[in-house]
Amino acid sequence: MAQLFTRTASNAFRVLIVLALFSVVGAGVLGYAWSRADATWNVGKPADQPVPFRHDLHAGSLGIDCRYCHSTVERAADAGMPSAQTCMTCHSQVWVGASVLEPVRSSFALGQPLTWTSVHRLPDFAYFNHAAHVTNGVACETCHGRVDQMTKTVKTQTLSMGWCLDCHRDPAPHLRPREAVFVMGYKPHGQDLPEDIQAFYREASRRLTSCNTCHR
């Protein structure tokens, strides 16, 4: 059979085809790495806030309970955010004239809510519920990290669907006793849970991984 292309031309084509294949694979690998990268999910990135509130000071050094400011966390889907009035219970006594607290004082005086910028925000099509977790032994620290050591509040987990599912497939090892849910620096000992509770979660994982648990 007569040759359609010269030998050099066919070799050039072969090289091109191999290069094309490599770039498809390469783009796939890069895309995957990008979607898994923490930076894609704003992990570790603080947001601008009206007041330089510090958890390390209030929840850490002063040891104020999370529920003092996030008061609906055990009862509702939303954790709840503190009103200016909550801040003023102390800041009408300490740091009274401080200029950094001016937004708190004026919001208190005008009866308008403080507008904090969210660092954790799921898209509207995903449903989350604090009470369901907090009352079943999933700790703040497991999802939000060492908040008591943060000068600026940041995400420590991606909050991606893959991250939710990693736990929902087998929650037991991540669980704590109820009284340790608000404790920081505690090691979960879910591995030692009684067999009936472990069995409950093996059974529950089917419900917990079904799409309409989180997409309703």
From residue 159, how far is each of 6, 39, 86, 138, 162 by CA, in Å? 56, 12, 28, 15, 8
DSSP state of 57: I
Closer CB to ligand HEC, residue 10 or residue 115? 115
Q: Which residue has the tokens 């309703």?
A: 216
Q: CA quadruple 55, 57, 61, 65: dihedral positive or negative?
A: negative
Minimum Å gap between C-beta 45 and ligand HEC is: 12
Is 156 strand, coil or helix?
A: coil
CB of residue 16 to ligand HEC, shortest distance in Å: 33
In the bound state with ligand HEC, the residue whose beta carbon lies nearer, of 101 and 193, is: 101
In whole angstroms, the minimum distance from the beta carbon of 50 to ligand HEC comes to 9
Q: How far is the CB of 129 from ligand HEC (least distance, A)?
A: 5
Q: Is-contact 78 130, C-beta < 8 A? A: yes
Question: Min. distance of Cβ 177 from ligand HEC in angstroms?
Answer: 13
Answer whether 152's CB lies under 8 Å from 82's CB: no
Judging by beta carbons within 10 Å of its beta carbon (0-12, 13-18, 19+), is residue 30 exposed, middle or buried? Answer: exposed
Cβ proximity to ligand HEC: between 18 and 62 the closer is 62
**Residue labelled with tokens 């003023």:** 88
Nearer of residues 22 and 127 to ligand HEC, judged by Cβ: 127
Quote the least distance from Cβ 189 to ligand HEC, whole Å: 14
Q: Are 41 and 155 a contacting pair, CB within 8 Å?
A: yes
CB 89 within 8 A of CB 16: no
- Nearer to ligand HEC among residue 1 and residue 211 (C-beta): 211
Which residue number, 87 or 193, has a Cβ lying nearer to ligand HEC?
87
